[in-house]
Structure 1
Amino acid sequence: MSKNKTPKPDYSLFVSRVDFFVFGLAGALYFLSFSLGDKLGHVYKVGGIVIASFVFAVACYLSYANTFGAKRARDIIVRELSPKLKGDEIVLDVGTGSGLILIGLAKLLNNGGKAHGVDIWETERDRERKILDRSLKTPKLTLKNAEIEGVADRVQLLGGDPRNVPYPNDYFDVCCCADLAHHLSKGSLDRTIIQMVRVTKNGGLLVIHDFWHMERTKKLLKKFGMEIEKIVSSSPILPISRCIIARKPVDGLTTQTGEILSKKSKQKPPIELASLSKEEEESLKRHFAEIEREKEK
Structure 2
Amino acid sequence: MAAEAILMTLSSLYGKRILLRRMVDSLVLRGGEQALDVGCGRGMLLLETASRLPRGRVTGIDLWSTRDQSGNAAEATARNAELAGMADRVQIDTGDMRQLPYADASFDAIVSSLAIHNLPTETDREQAVREIARVLKPGGQLALLDFRHTALYAQVLREAGLDVRRLWPEFRMFPWVWIVRGRKA
User: Which TM bucket (shorter chain)?
Assistant: 0.7 to 0.9
Rounded Cα–Cα distance in structure 2 between residues aligned with 1:104 and 1:165: 22
Say whether residues 1:116 and 2:59 are aligned partners: yes
Cα deviation, 1:181-222, whole Å, max 9, x if unaligned, reads 331231211011000000000110121101111112222211
> Counterpart of 2:61 in structure 1: which amino acid?
V
Say whether residues 1:218 and 2:154 are aligned partners: yes
Say whether residues 1:71 and 2:17 are aligned partners: yes
Q: 3-state DSSP class of the match of 2:105?
A: coil
> Counterpart of 2:8 in structure 1: which amino acid?
S
Structure 1 residue runs of 5 or longer lacking an equivalent are 1-22, 24-55, 250-297
Structure-2 residue corresponding to 1:179: 114
Q: 1:142 to 1:212 in 2, by over 3 A?
A: same
Rounded Cα–Cα distance in structure 2 between residues aligned with 1:241 and 1:144: 28
Paired residues, what number?
A: 183
Rounded Cα–Cα distance in structure 2 between residues aligned with 1:61 and 1:195: 36
- Of the two, which has the highest radius of gyration? 1
Q: 1:78 to 1:163 in 2, by over 3 A?
A: same
2:45 aligned to which of 89, 95, 101: 101
Q: 1:230 to 1:189 in 2, by over 3 A?
A: closer
1:212 touches 1:240 (CA, 8 Å); kept in 2? no
Rounded Cα–Cα distance in structure 2 between residues aligned with 1:97 and 1:239: 19
Rounded Cα–Cα distance in structure 2 between residues aligned with 1:142 and 1:237: 22
> Counterpart of 1:63 in structure 2: which amino acid?
M
Rounded Cα–Cα distance in structure 2 between residues aligned with 1:153 and 1:163: 27
More relative contact order, 1 or 2 (CA 8 Å, 6+ apart): 2
> Counterpart of 1:165 in structure 2: which amino acid?
L
Q: 1:239 to 1:231 in 2, by over 3 A?
A: farther
Structure 2 residue runs of 5 or longer lacking an equivalent are none
Cα deviation, 1:4-57, whole Å, max 9, x if unaligned, reads xxxxxxxxxxxxxxxxxxx4xxxxxxxxxxxxxxxxxxxxxxxxxxxxxxxx77
Q: Which has the higher strand share?
A: 2
Q: CA deviation at 1:138?
A: 1.0
1:158 aligned to which of 61, 80, 93: 93
Cα deviation, 1:67-101, whole Å, max 9, x if unaligned, reads 244323322212212xx211000000000100000
Q: CA deviation at 1:135?
A: 5.5
Q: CA deviation at 1:66?
A: 6.7
2:12 touches 2:173 (CA, 8 Å); kept in 1? no
Rounded Cα–Cα distance in structure 2 between residues aligned with 1:220 and 1:190: 7
Alignment map for 1:272-287 (pairs within 5 Å): none
Cα deviation, 1:202-258, whole Å, max 9, x if unaligned, reads 110121101111112222211221102562543247795111110000xxxxxxxxx
Say whether residues 1:201 and 2:132 are aligned partners: no
1:177 touches 1:208 (CA, 8 Å); kept in 2? yes
Rounded Cα–Cα distance in structure 2 between residues aligned with 1:166 and 1:223: 22
Q: CA deviation at 1:108?
A: 0.2
2:37 touches 2:61 (CA, 8 Å); kept in 1? yes
> Counterpart of 2:179 in structure 1: which amino acid?
C
Query: What is the root-mean-square deviation in Å for CA atoms of aligned residues?
Result: 2.6
Rounded Cα–Cα distance in structure 1 between residues aligned with 2:154 and 2:9: 24
Cα deviation, 1:98-139, whole Å, max 9, x if unaligned, reads 0000000000001x20000000014xxx5xx69xxx951111
Rounded Cα–Cα distance in structure 2 between residues aligned with 1:237 and 1:105: 19
Stretches (4+) displaced over 2 A:
59-66, 68-73, 229-234, 236-240
Task: Give TM-score, length-normalised by structure 1.
Answer: 0.56
